[in-house]
Structures are given as C-alpha cells and as structure tokens.
Structure 1
Amino acid sequence: FAYVRHRLNNSGKMVNIPKTRKTYCKGKQCKKHTLHKVTQYKTGKASLYAQGKRRYDRKQSGFGGQTKPVFHKKAKTTKKIVLRLECTVCKYKMQLKIKRCKHFELGGDKKARGAAPTY
C-alpha cells in the first residue's frame, strides 16, 4: 500500500497507519472509492452459550481434572494485524489484513522524508 509506512519492515519493528484512508467501498450505495475510518480489529467476548463452550463446561464439571488438551507449544511471537475499515458515507464495514509486526501504531506522527532518526 502507498498509505502503509513500514519503518523497519519484515523484522517487524514499527508500522504506522493513518486513521483515515480512501479506498473502494463495496456497499450497495457507494460502489466507488470513498473515505474510510480505520480501526484495529479486536476479538469480541466469547459467549458462554456457544455449543462448544457448553459442551466443554459440561465435560469439565465434576471430578477428574482437565479433560481436554491444553496447548503449550506456542511458536509465533507476533500476530497478523487486522484493520477494520468503515465507510464514512454508507457505514459499510470491511476487514483488511496486513503483515505481521511487533509494534503497530494507528495515526501516529508521520516520519519526514530525509529527516534524521530520533531515538
């Protein structure tokens, strides 16, 4: 993307993305490039009444300890960032994934071209 400023790319130091961007809107009203509000996707609260959770809780209840495997072999150190784009015209929402990075910033200060780096 022209908008995405990868400061130090794949090693994943810092990614800074503007809070608004012009991109194509697939909404029924628009179907053209419009201004979108950018936020970071966040996982919603897990429901206690989902079938898997009900089954798990039933199995766990009573005596006998942990009944299902608990995952411990975590290999990744970063997560892929998912952006949530909301059209300012028709409120259509879409998600856009970007590459992995250790530090993600939304609407931070833009780095001036040719300027000396500040530490």
Structure 2
Amino acid sequence: MVNVPKTKRAFCKGKECKKHTMHKVTQYKTGKASLYAQGKRRYDRKQSGYGGQTKPVFHKKAKTTKKIVLRLQCQACKTSHMHAIKRCKHFEIGGEKKNKNSLY
C-alpha cells in the first residue's frame, strides 16, 4: 500500500518560481471523453448501420494495476505538473503514518 502526504516540496518549472516550493498533491484522473473528437466521430460513423462491430475489440489484458500519476500544483504560482510513480494495488493520499513502535 502506498501512502503519499497531501503536500510535498518539489521543483516548480513555472516562470515566476524556478525553484523548490510546496506543492499540493492530488491523484490524476482521466477526463470524460469528448463525443466530438475526430476519432470518436469517425468510429461512430463507421459503427452506424448494419454490419456489427467494425473495429477490433481488445481482450488480452495482462496488467492488474495501473501506474499512479500524481498531479502536483505549486502553492505559490498555481502551475501544475504530473509525476508518475510505480504500480500499486492500494493508494491513498494523506493517510495515517505508520509508527515504528506499534504492533501491526
């Protein structure tokens, strides 16, 4: 399980900063796909009418996890950038820290 703090010091590439500043950490999430993107319009046009499924549907999925992508937003200039970390099954932001003394 990966536990990431809510804020992190990281390098900001923004025009004002160009130095290490505090960043707010959130998890990147893919936005809703647009119905008017060129590929989607082409696909819908091809699918319409008779003839069943026209393009191949992928079934050979091998991975069980996704790579976690962190969205870091600079607290000084509000510029944000992405930072990919390793794969994991359980991920949380700002959870309780583990103590060395406590059992389990």
Gaps in structure 2 of 5+ consecutive residues? none
Please say if 1:98 is aligned against 2:85: yes
Name segments (4+ residues, structure 1) moved above 4 Å: none
Relative contact order: is structure 1 or structure 2 higher (C-alpha 8 Å, sep ≥ 6)? 2
Identity %: 76
Deviation at 1:51, TM superposition (A): 0.6
Deviation at 1:39, TM superposition (A): 0.2
Structure 1 residue corresponding to 2:96, chosen from 91, 95, 109: 109
TM-score by length of 1: 0.85
Q: What is aligned with 1:66?
A: 53
Q: String of CA shifts for 1:41-61, please: whole Å, max 9, x gaps.
A: 000110111110000000000
Measured in 2, the distance between the counterparts of 1:20 and 1:26 equals: 17
Q: What is aligned with 2:19?
A: 32
TM-score by length of 2: 0.97
Q: What is aligned with 1:7?
A: none
Please say if 1:21 is aligned against 2:8: yes
Q: How many residues align?
A: 104
